[in-house]
């Protein structure tokens, strides 16, 4: 009996290995930056990682839900852009009150995700194709609203965007960071302490077994995509605060960043295994790379892409080696 529990313990520990590896990588990139640049490890630089990536953090959390069920959501960037457009258009051009617009935008995002989830589960459209169509549709709606960038001068939006929160040590963070961190905390609780969270892992692990166990597979899948849609919309709202504008070309390619963050965070794309905290680390690693490239100054932007691609490669390879060992 003791050997079984020991083995179980070891097996559980292995589940954390990818996250530990990401933590090590995060520490390593930070140390590399600190070694090279004076003042890199200051509190404000670290806080800025969150400030600059609050929207990505929220979007990647939603993506984690979908990937845990074994799906994928390509529409997140487009839904985020649609949210920035809706915010800007409704508030600035139609004169709607922001306190009405923001909940409305979130509902639109959630419904969008639910629609895709419905098609994926009930009509058996592949997630890749269904969310691809969703991506075209959401981007298209952006263009329908306006092809120009709409600046926002509304009082509430500018106040929210410009006011800061002072942490101990004199470090400033924006309110977006508070929202993003709350989303992460909520996602953590939902995934680990609720029935829905367990169902997400079960469906991603093996949909057939989950169905036989009595897990409501359809409802779980639809809800996961709804969460992703909601998170994309919220990410869009945070991005609206970050740039104080709505534009149909905002957040292009964010879906790739989000997927990369989730994978680097140790979540398996086959579903069923991964942690939302890993995703946070994944986003931070992407943020540090971006910061290093900014600090370096002479490096061209394409090095970000090459670095992210290389990291993806290393991490997936690492996961492969570890899962292969577990099986043998």
Partner 1 sequence: MRQLLGHRLFWPVALLAALLVTNVIYSPDFLSIRVRDGHLYGSLIDILRLGSPLLLVALGMTLVTATGGIDLSVGALVAISGAVACLNISHLTNQKDSGAVVPAVLLALAVCVALGIWNGLLVAGAGMQPIIATLVLMVAGRGVAQMITGGQIITVNSEPYHLIGGGYELGLPLSVLIAAAVLVLTGLTVRRSALGLLLESVGGNREASRLVGIRARGLTVTVYAFCALCAAGAGLMISSNVASADGNNAGLWIELDAILAVVIGGTSLSGGRFHLGGTAVGALVIQTLSTTVYTIGVPPETTLVFKALVVTAVCLLQSPAFRAKVLPGRARRRAGVVEAKPGKKEATAA
For partner 1, the binding residues (CB under 8 A) are 70, 72, 119, 122-130, 132-134, 136-137, 139-141, 143-144, 147, 206-208, 256, 259-260, 263, 269-270, 300-306, 308-310, 312-313, 316-317, 320, 324
**To the nearest whole angstrom, how small is the minimum distance from the Cβ of residue 191 to partner 1?**
21
- Length of the chain in residues, anyone? 328
Structure tokens at 56: 């990505």
**Quick one: which of 246, 276, 42 has its CA closest to 181?**
276
Nearer to partner 1, 1 or 124 (CB): 124
By C-beta, is 35 or 302 nearer to partner 1? 302
CA 219/CA 196 separation, integer angstroms: 9
Minimum distance, C-beta of residue 327 to partner 1, in the bound complex (Å): 11
Are the beta carbons of 62 and 232 closer than 8 angstroms? yes
The distance of closest approach from Cβ of residue 239 to partner 1 in the complex, given in angstroms and rounded to an integer, is 20
Backbone angles phi, psi at 271, to 5 degrees: 95, 165
**What is the nearest approach in angstroms of partner 1 to the Cβ of residue 192?**
24
What's the CA gap between 59 and 52, in Å, rounded?
A: 13
What tokens appear for 40 in the block?
């890199």
Query: Quick one: 122 or 195, whose CB is closer to partner 1?
Result: 122
Contact 278, 24 (CB under 8 A): no
Question: Least distance to partner 1 from the beta carbon of 302, Å?
Answer: 4
Q: Among residues 132 and 241, whose Cβ is nearest to partner 1?
A: 132
Nearer to partner 1 by Cβ, of 2 and 300: the residue is: 300
In this structure, are residues 39 and 22 in contact, taking their beta carbons and an 8 Å threshold? no
């Amino acid at each position: 009996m003791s050997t079984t529990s020991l083995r179980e313990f070891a097996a559980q520990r292995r589940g954390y290995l990818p996250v530990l590896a990401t933590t090590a990588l995060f520490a390593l990139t930070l140390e590399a930056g600190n070694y090279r640049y004076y003042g890199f490890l200051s509190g404000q630089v670290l806080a800025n990682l969150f400030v600059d990536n609050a929207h990505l953090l929220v979007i990647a959390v939603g993506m984690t839900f979908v990937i845990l069920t074994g799906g994928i959501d390509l529409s997140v960037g487009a839904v985020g852009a649609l949210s920035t457009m809706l915010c800007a258009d409704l508030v600035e051009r139609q004169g709607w009150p922001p306190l009405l617009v923001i909940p409305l935008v979130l509902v639109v995002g959630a419904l969008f995700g639910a629609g895709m989830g419905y098609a994926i589960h009930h009509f058996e459209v592949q997630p890749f194709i269904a969310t691809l169509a969703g991506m075209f549709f959401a981007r298209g709606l952006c263009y329908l609203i306006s092809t120009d960038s709409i600046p926002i001068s509304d009082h509430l939006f500018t106040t929210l965007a410009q006011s800061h929160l002072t942490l101990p040590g004199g470090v400033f963070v924006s309110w977006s960071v508070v929202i993003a961190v709350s989303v992460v905390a909520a996602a953590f609780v939902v995934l680990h302490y609720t029935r829905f969270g367990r169902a997400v892992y079960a469906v991603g692990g093996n949909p057939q077994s989950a169905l036989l166990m009595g897990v409501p597979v359809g409802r779980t899948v639809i809800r996961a995509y709804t969460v992703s849609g909601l998170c994309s919309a919220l990410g869009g709202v945070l991005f609206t605060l970050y740039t104080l504008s709505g534009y149909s070309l905002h957040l292009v390619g964010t879906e790739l960043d989000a997927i990369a963050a989730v994978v680097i965070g140790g979540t398996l794309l086959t579903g069923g295994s991964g942690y939302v905290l890993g995703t946070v680390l994944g986003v931070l690693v992407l943020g540090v790379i971006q910061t290093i490239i900014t600090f370096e100054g002479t490096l061209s932007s394409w090095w970000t892409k090459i670095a992210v691609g290389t990291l993806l490669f290393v991490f997936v390879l690492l996961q492969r080696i570890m899962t292969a060992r577990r099986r043998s």
